[in-house]
Structure 1
Amino acid sequence: MPPPARRAVPRPWLLLPTPGGAPFTFGYAAALVMTSLVARYADPALMGTLYQASSTDVAHLLQAPVPVLIASALWVAGGVLSPYSLVFLLVLTALERRTGGPRTAAVFLVGHVCATLATEIPVGLAVLAGLLPDSSLHRLDYGISFGVATSLGALAGLLRPWPGRLLLIAFGGVLLQDLLTLTDPLSDWGHLFSLAIGIALWPRVRRWDRTDPRP
């Protein structure tokens, strides 16, 4: 008689990044904690200047696209206690444990850059057409939310069908609710676009999945 199968022991600490298990997420999270502490305790006038300098608005994207795209991803809108911080930790940890740090970074970066351009280019065109005032070129826009939304969309493709679908339905429902409130339509459309980018990456991230037993 074969020995009874061992029951899997829950390991909840695997949900959070560690230096060995998810080094990219752990290091990125440490950087976000540092910038959040700066945002909490620094002079408000200084923080206003830093946020404006890190903003991925049309004017900054035309002047220095690469530095500003990097700088904008070093701040958490709403601080380290915002809901996106928790989603960042859980989603990127899970994605990194399945695909590795460099590929997780690539997914995050693709979402952050593409969603930013998809939301800011129409603003620039609307200003040129006279549909928006020139002040729209300096719209304050920074944070990790586009990259997080893309990473969540990509992760859903690595989960079993029902958990993945439920994750998409729940997160997509929140994004649609935000869009209906018209609080910040441009960012809300950007979040939906980011989620769609993550879904479009399913074929690639599935090939990267280190837990997939198929050859």
Structure 2
Amino acid sequence: LDGPFVTHLVKLASRLDVVVVAGMFEAIAGDHRIHNTAVVVDRRRGLALAHRKRHLYDAFGERESDRFQAGTEDVALIDIDGFSTAVVVCYELRFPAFIQDAADRGAELLLVPAAWVAGPLKEEHWTLMVRARAIENTMYVAGAGETGAGFCGRSMIVDPLGVVEAGLGEAAGVAVGDVTKERLASARARLPLVEQRRAAARTPAAKS
């Protein structure tokens, strides 16, 4: 995390006055495996967050756990321009409870850097779940999908009611969408799922 890749991102974020979220492979001392890590680099704070992928891609005939060490932490929250933001990596999008926990703790925006491997129905899984995570948590979701041979692409920005604001299809490029507190508040007033889950968690289960 203190090597040349993150150092370059810090300089880039400062020069362009942006926040950068990027995936990287992080070495582990004394272990042949590595972490699949997403970093958040802030224009002013430098390296602000590192999320080590907790749910590894042992599915569809792949065994990511042979090469990677799983992280151990829940999804951390970070403030990005006034929005409580969560970051998960790729396959973790398939774990709704993992993401719901972040929403119930206050997440308003979810960022998902991904190298989503292409395959039968995989593109449909990606687009469906990006929208589903937005709807069931009434939060914005921005999924950045790697493009090129073997990957799905399909980067997209989805609003809290599941409306796709911007998408790139199979091509690399820049997607731009509006993320506003007004839209977030309106969605959560109309569909108060997060508050209802919080209320249910506070209410003891009835005893038979």
TM-score norm. by structure 2 comes to: 0.30
Q: Which has the higher strand share?
A: 2
Q: Which has the higher helix share?
A: 1
TM-score norm. by structure 1 comes to: 0.30
Q: Larger Rg: 1 or 2?
A: 1
